[in-house]
A and B are shown apart, each in its own frame.
Chain A
Amino acid sequence: MGGYVESAVWLAYGPMALVFFLSLVAAFYYKPKWVGDPSEFRVCSITGMKVHIPAGSLIKANLWMAFLFLALGGVMAFGVAFTRWPVVHLLPDTLFYRALTMHGLAMLVFWIVWFEVALMYFTITSIIGARLAAIRTAWIAFGLMLGGSLVVVLTVLTGNADIMFTSYPPLMAHQWYYWGILVFAVGAFFACAVYYVTMAVAFREKVITGSLPLGVYGMSAGVTITLLTLFHGAVFYFPTWLWSMGLFQNIDVVIYRLIFWAFGHSSQQINVCMMIACWYMVGTLSIGSKPLNEKLCRTAYVLYILFICIASEHHLLVDPAISPAHKAFNTGYFMHMAVLASMIHALAVPASYEIALRKKGYTQGLFEWLKKAPWSNPAFSASCLSIVGFGWVGGITGVTFGTEQLNIISHNTWRMTGHFHGTVVAGTSLAFMSMTYYMIPIALKKEIAFPSLAKIQPWLFGPGVILFAVTMMFIGGFGIPRRHWDITFSEAAFSFSFNPIVSVGFIICAIGWTMAIIGGLSFVVIAIGSLLNDKEVE
């Protein structure tokens, strides 16, 4: 069993590897028509580095979309969360499933990817100081992503795609849904191409001499994984789209799930690469931290690229068709080499923070550096909370639930939902928020609006998410299922009630949800306020 599943996947890899290789070659043979004009640059007063001014409008446009989608996702989070709490049970069933589909897509796909595109342009033009080489292509990418995401949002909100972001067949959405996702993905692919082309041009024009700065190196690792990820995406979204139009008869659910998670899991690795790049960059910007050992940090990024894309079967541990040996090999050997990479960063990032703070003279005892750290700098505090949330809440639980035997008692329960709110919300989203506090002043020369609100924003969002994520995992251990409208089973044939301690869990969750939603919306207000801010950074 499973043999033909594997051969189908290997067949799909051949063309993908070829396209990947060709796109790299193309990037290096791209001939720039004009050479950078010095008047297009200014020197940033924060970093003292060159910033490419025309890239600013692109970064701004992409940030706008990211923040708007974060707001949309936040509104949906409110509806979803307070429906799950049986005491409130806010939305009726169809609206709940629709809001949950929208929440997953708006957050995990749109907020994160829009932000990552802005971050890619930011690192290459404001940190490296290269000129954005293919501005027109970058705007085409923006247009495609905008078109695709609007189509998806409209299809979902009009009730034509109540199938969750995983869109597992045979659940079928309207064809426009797949169409929107594909167009969005093509746009994201163009954005990656722009990043690589800009980098190739920067090497040729001698803007980059020597190795890439570590932050940019991490971003590049992320972009490389993005390309691999997008090809996996095409391999299953395209046939699924044809299927939704009736041009294709049977979709094999196991192959779909296998390739979906090859795509879905490596997407998370993009987030991890870019999140860690943010930790390094924010550390340097806020306290002047330095990477400990460049060799170690860079090797860790290479481990991500090499191992994570292949290791995605921890999503399929209790699925039929794939043999336990295969699952153990895939999740064990490959996965844990990527875990090793995370463990390396788990030492390197906090240690670099500590060393930088000790250099400032906070050397008394073991913890003076922690006490005297700039906790009221929102970028710094958000980064630190993100490190704690990702490592302790998301990471450790992920490794635990990702073993075959423990997965049986956690698959599709709230243990999972709690785990990935640790990784992707307390970790990635908070790291991106922290980066925003520097990105807007550096790339757009605008001051952060509402500075006093900004000081407390990470302290609402971070602890809020950590609180509800941990509690969700706790009550998930009693079997609370994910994606479920009615855990009292009032309309079901048989009735069952969970351990009563679960209702206490929900109350704690509700506190966390409220903090996180207020923290998230404050961030949107601060971020959009800053984009509209007239006050310039001197």
Chain B
Amino acid sequence: MSLYTPEKHWWKPMDREEMIWVTIAFIWCQLITFIMPFSHAYGKHNPPAVTSKASTAEYGAKVDKFIAENKTGEEAGVAVVEVKPEVKEIYIVGRSYQWEPVLKLQQGKEYILHLSSGDYEHGMSIQPMNMNIMALPGYDYHLRITPDQAGEYFIICNEFCGAGHHMMTGKIYVS
């Protein structure tokens, strides 16, 4: 019993039922493991692969330049940006407590969306589709995205980033 010293030779073969169960479980585990690389090869919904290092100052400067060059207006005090059709690289930054800028994207076009943080760790959570990616200071995450549905998307922050965490929002328009 589990409280008493087992008999001397406990290294015994498994019963048939145990053998069947362990085999099924093992196959199942291999299957879930296999799904991940499989989806990378054939799926459209994978965690982004490319990262570069960029200090918060460097990244902030890049975003500010991007906003200055492409700004088309403002919404609720936040810059709205729409890029020319030939521009592929776009930027977003999480700063306590705002996602900047508001992006206007074209449906069906592929973008590289650079994501990073200007200060603390933030979690970019795009709703209502519920897509969640971390924004970490010092790291520029390159998300390869193709917006496939037109509409208004809302960004919230889902990594605790300080006292105003719940006020941190942002927006993406796809048309």
Interface residues of B in 115-166 (CB under 8 A from A): 115, 119-121, 123, 125, 127-128, 130-134, 136-141, 154, 156-163, 165-166
Q: CB distance B12 to A295 under 8 Å?
A: yes
Given A328-B37, A332-B32, A486-B166, verify A295-B10 contact (CB < 8 Å): yes
Question: Chain A residues near B159 (CB, 8 Å)?
Answer: 168, 412, 483
Partner among B3, B18, B35, B47 whose Cβ is within 8 Å of the Cβ of A284: B3
User: A478: which B residues are within 8 A, CB to CB?
Assistant: 128, 130
Known contacts A405-B46, A477-B130; is-contact A336 B32 (Cβ 8 Å): yes
- Contact B158 A481, beta carbon cutoff 8 Å: yes
A residues near B130, Cβ cutoff 8 Å: 409, 413, 477-479
Interface centre among B3, B39, B49 (most CB of A within 10 A): B3
Interface locus among A61-69, A132-140, A451-459, A489-497: A489-497
Q: How far is the CA of A298 from the CA of B6 in the complex (A)?
A: 12
A280-B2, A284-B3, A409-B131 known; A323 vs B125 contact (CB < 8 Å)? no
Residue of A nearest to B154 (CB): A496
The reply on B87 being an interface residue by CB < 8 A is: no
Q: Is the CB of A214 within 8 A of B160?
A: no
Confirm or deny: A254 has a beta carbon within 8 angstroms of a beta carbon on chain B.
Answer: yes
In the complex the two chains form, is A483's CB within 8 Å of B165's CB? yes
Cβ-defined partner of B47 (8 Å) among A277, A317, A343, A399: A317
Which of A286-294, A361-369, A422-430 touches B?
A286-294
Asked whether, in the complex, the Cβ of A404 is within 8 Å of the Cβ of B119, the reply is no
Residues of B within 8 A of A252 (CB): 138
Give every chain B residue within 8 A of A26 (Cβ-Cβ). none
Interface of A (DSSP majority class): loop
Residues in A neighbouring B35, C-beta threshold 8 A? 403, 405
Nearest neighbor of B161 in chain A, beta-carbon distance: A171
Residues in A with CB closer than 8 Å to B136 are 253-254, 257, 319-321
Given contacts A2-B51, A211-B5, contact A324 B46 (CB under 8 A): yes
**B36 surroundings in chain A (CB, below 8 A):** 328, 331-332, 403-405
**Shortest Cβ gap from B125 to chain A (Å):** 6
B1 touches A324 (CB 8 A): no
- Residue B45 CB within 8 A of the other chain: yes
A213/B21 in contact, CB under 8 A: no
User: Does A484 belong to the interface (CB within 8 Å)?
Assistant: yes
Given A293-B14, A296-B14, A319-B134: A210 touches B8 (CB 8 Å cut-off):
yes
> CB-CB < 8 A to A213: which residues of B?
1-6
Closest chain B CB from A448 CB (angstroms): 19
**In the complex, chain A residues whose CB is within 8 Å of the CB of B115:** 320
Bound complex: CA A281 to CA B1 (Å): 8
Give CA–CA (A493, B164) in the complex, Å.
12
Q: Which residues, 1 to 56 on B, are CB-close (under 8 Å) to A?
A: 1-6, 8, 10-12, 14-15, 18, 21-22, 25-26, 28-30, 32-37, 39-40, 43, 45-53
Specify the chain A residue showing the minimal Cβ separation from B117: A253
Query: Which residues in B have their C-beta under 8 angstroms from that of A298?
Result: 10
Which one of B61-69, B105-113, B167-175 contacts A?
Answer: B167-175
Query: In the complex, what residues of B have CB within 8 A of residue A211's CB?
Result: 5-6, 10
Task: Write the nearest CB–CB distance from A223 to chain B, whole angstroms.
Answer: 17
- Residue of B39, B49, B77, B156 contacting most chain A CB atoms (<10 Å): B156
List residues of chain A with CB under 8 Å of any chain B CB: 1-2, 47, 49, 93-94, 97, 127, 162-164, 168, 170-171, 208-215, 252-254, 257, 277, 280-281, 283-285, 288-296, 298, 317-321, 323-325, 327-328, 331-333, 336-337, 339-340, 343-344, 347, 399, 403-405, 407-413, 477-479, 481-487, 489, 491-496, 498-499
Further pairs besides A412-B158, A492-B167, A496-B156: 7, Cβ < 8 Å: A94-B163, A168-B120, A318-B133, A320-B139, A328-B33, A413-B130, A486-B167
Query: What separation, in Å, do the CA atoms of A483 and B5 have in the docked complex?
Result: 46
Complex-state Cα separation, A51 to B154, whole angstroms: 62
Give Cα distance in the complex from A213 to B50, angstroms. 50
Let me know if B121 and A49 touch, CB within 8 A. Answer: no
B126, closest chain A residue (CB): A479
B125 partner, pick from A407, A412, A495, beta carbons under 8 A: A412
Known A-B contacts A252-B138, A410-B132; A289 and B1 likewise in contact (beta carbons under 8 Å): yes
Query: 7 shortest A-B CB distances, which residue pairs?
Result: A481-B158, A332-B33, A343-B25, A280-B2, A294-B10, A336-B29, A320-B141
**For residue A340, which residues in chain B have a CB less than 8 angstroms away from its CB?**
22, 25-26, 29
Chain A nearest CB from B15 CB (Å) reads 7
Q: Which A residue's beta carbon lies closest to that of B8?
A: A210
- For A294, what are the chain B residues with a Cβ–Cβ distance below 8 Å? 6, 10-12
A295 neighbours in B (Cβ, 8 Å): 10-12, 14
Residue of B5, B8, B158 near A413 (CB, 8 A) is B158
- Name the residue of chain A whose CB is nearest to the CB of B163: A94
Which residues from B are CB-within-8-Å of A498? 127-128
With the chains together, A212 CA to B1 CA distance in Å?
A: 11
Contacts of A324 in B (CB 8 A): 40, 46-47, 49
Are A492 and B169 interface neighbours, CB within 8 A?
yes
Q: Is the CB of A170 within 8 A of B120?
A: yes
Contact of B140 among A293, A320, A482 (CB under 8 A): A320
Q: Are A494's CB and B170's CB within 8 A?
A: yes
For B21, the chain A residues whose CB sits under 8 A away are 343-344, 347
Given A171-B161, A213-B5 in contact, is the A409-B128 Cβ separation under 8 Å?
no
Which of B30, B53, B127 interacts with A479 by CB under 8 Å? B127
Minimum C-beta distance from B79 to chain A (A): 12
Determine the chain A residues whose CB is within 8 A of the CB of B167 once the complex forms.
486, 489, 491-493
- Which residues of chain B from 75 to 118 have any CB-CB distance to chain A below 8 Å in the complex? 75-78, 98, 115
CA distance A483 to B161 in the complex (A): 10
Residues in B with CB closer than 8 Å to A409 are 130-132
Contact A253 B33 (CB under 8 A): no
Which of B15, B121, B162 is within 8 Å of A253, CB to CB?
B121
CA distance A15 to B35 in the complex (A): 36
Please, how many angstroms separate the alpha-carbon atoms of A93 and B119 in the complex? 21
- Taking a contact as CB atoms under 8 Å apart, the answer to whether B43 and A405 are in contact is yes
B131: which A residues are within 8 A, CB to CB?
A: 408-409
The answer to whether A328 touches B40, judged by C-beta atoms less than 8 angstroms apart, is yes
16 residue pairs A–B, Cβ–Cβ below 8 Å: A171-B162, A210-B5, A213-B5, A291-B1, A293-B14, A294-B10, A324-B49, A337-B29, A403-B35, A403-B36, A404-B46, A408-B47, A484-B158, A486-B166, A489-B166, A492-B169
User: Of A47, A403, A481, which is within 8 A of B32 by CB?
Assistant: A403
